[in-house]
Amino acid sequence: MNRSVDRLLAFLVLAVALACLAHAYLLPGTFALSRLAHPLADAASLRLAAFLAAALVCALGALLFWQGLLPGRPGHQRGAPLFGRTAEVPDAGRPRLRLVFLALPTLAVLALLADQFGPWGGEAAEPKGQDVADAPPPASAAPSPVTPAPAPVAPAPVTPPPEQADKAPPPAEPVLVTPPPALAPTPEEPPKTALAPAPEVAPPQTVAPPPPSAPPQPTQPDGHRDAVVWLAVSADGHEIMSASTDRMIKLWDIDGKRLMRDLGVHKDMARTALFMPDGKRALTAGDDGEIVLRQLSDGAVLHVFSSGTNGGVRNLAISPDGRLAVSGHDTGSVIVWDIDKGSVLHVLPGHDWSVSAVAVSPDGTRAISGSIDGELKLWDIVSGKQLRSWHGHEQGTYGAVFTADGHHAVTGSGDYTIKLWDLDTFKEVRRFEGHSGTVYEIALSSDGKRLASVSLDGTARLWNMDTGDQIAEFDPGTGPLYSVAFAADGTLLTGGYDRTIRDWPGAGGDGVVLFAGAPE
């Protein structure tokens, strides 16, 4: 809700408060503070106290709306990672408290109508504004002097207490996430169906806290200027390609430890950068909804695939032969592209939420996709048919890879877990646990024996694929990590919040800054 809507709500709620106050003043009976001294004396006293309380609560609600202290649902889904500087300021909201101060004035209006026209309104036959004691005597009775009732005493203005923001209940985590509107690129927009609230148990936090103060990091002028969210290593192992929230795609020389060139820039945050199997081209994608085929030698744009109304590209995968690409989009669509023809092969609108993870099988015939509600789907990308759908995670899926046999897949999630799936039975085979934040990306070693993961908890981890045991943990102490890849020599490459690309020994130990970020 923007401020103008909140200001309008403040006027409406204030109007209800004044109506309750006026109605209390017009209630039959002597309107005096002495009547409230014994609030349980009769029904009239109860009605008077109820409307005065309603007026006070509505006045408080009007003040809170006017000051903008009742924000709505947070601007992002709890399972969705925040990038770059936005990771320091997690969005906050008080939807329940907001609903309370919207529901109470509604109830007050209903009570006013019921009190006005209800069966107990027998007293309403009496002149409004006139106390029972002031009614004229019966004609047969001798008139007696009537002492005018004292003027009504207006209650002293009450200053609402300041809102206890730290006591406001957090929004309930939905059990089943609802779909976004057709053109909304993120899961934070109004849902199409009602949420089913989960039990009142505080969900795990999926946004890592800002990094603690750390020693100054090295910088280089040609480094990324914001978080590194994707890393890819060339087939010959000599080059690294990176994508960043600064919109840039960069190509690095591992052996020479230098920037070879800026491959290009997206119109919005760059999400993915992949080497084509021919070793001469690259495919990059971002939140601008464009998938760009580039020439590695000079960054020249060869073709642009536009997703149109399907929204930004959250993730991208290429078939081993380089003929097909599969992209996941903000609107929940999965699109299969024919790279050679430069056209769309299939649009698969199966997900209800943004598709945040995609992977293509080793034989290039199937793809797995995961969305931010934890739903997983298996597709036949040749025919465009959905083969299976299942709820794999309690929160969003942010990384997916196939194993070499094509019969298993690994997914990472905002529920802090990594799961190995049997794609013949669609059962969970193994679980890798240890992260304390959203597992944002995963990578499989060339021999398939080790799994690497990075998380918003600021750590990277190596896992034994056969046992699920953790081999090593790496913690640069510089904030969330978003990207991971295996180098040709088996070492681990990571990128994240601090703009740097680091190299970690495969057996564990301290890492080194391979390519530093640009100065602040």
Give the total residue count for the chain. 520
CA atoms within 13 A on the CB side of 148: 3
What pLDDT is recorded for position 230?
Answer: 98
395 vs 398: CA distance, rounded Å: 10
Task: Annotate 198-253 with DSSP letters as a single string.
Answer: PPS-PPPP-SPPPPPP-PPPPB-TTS-SS-EEEEEE-TTSSEEEEEETTSEEEEEE
What pLDDT is recorded for position 194?
Answer: 36
Instruction: For 374, list phi and psi in degrees, rounded to 5.
Output: 90, 0
What pLDDT is recorded for position 279?
Answer: 95
What pLDDT is recorded for position 508?
Answer: 84
Q: What count of other Cβ atoms lies within 10 Å of the Cβ of residue 398?
A: 29
pTM over 0.75: no
- Bridge partners, residue 301, by sequence: 294
Over residues 321-354, the pLDDT tens digits come to 999 999 999 999 999 999 999 999 999 998 999 9
What pLDDT is recorded for position 201?
Answer: 40
In 67-146, where does DSSP find H-type helix? Answer: 95-117
325 vs 277: CA distance, rounded Å: 12
Q: Letter for the amino acid at 421?
A: W
Q: What count of other Cβ atoms lies within 10 Å of the Cβ of residue 520?
A: 8
Instruction: Report the relative pairing of strands 470-474 and 481-486 from DSSP bridges.
Output: unpaired
What pLDDT is recorded for position 31?
Answer: 41
Residues of the chain with pLDDT under 70: 1-3, 25-45, 71-95, 116-215
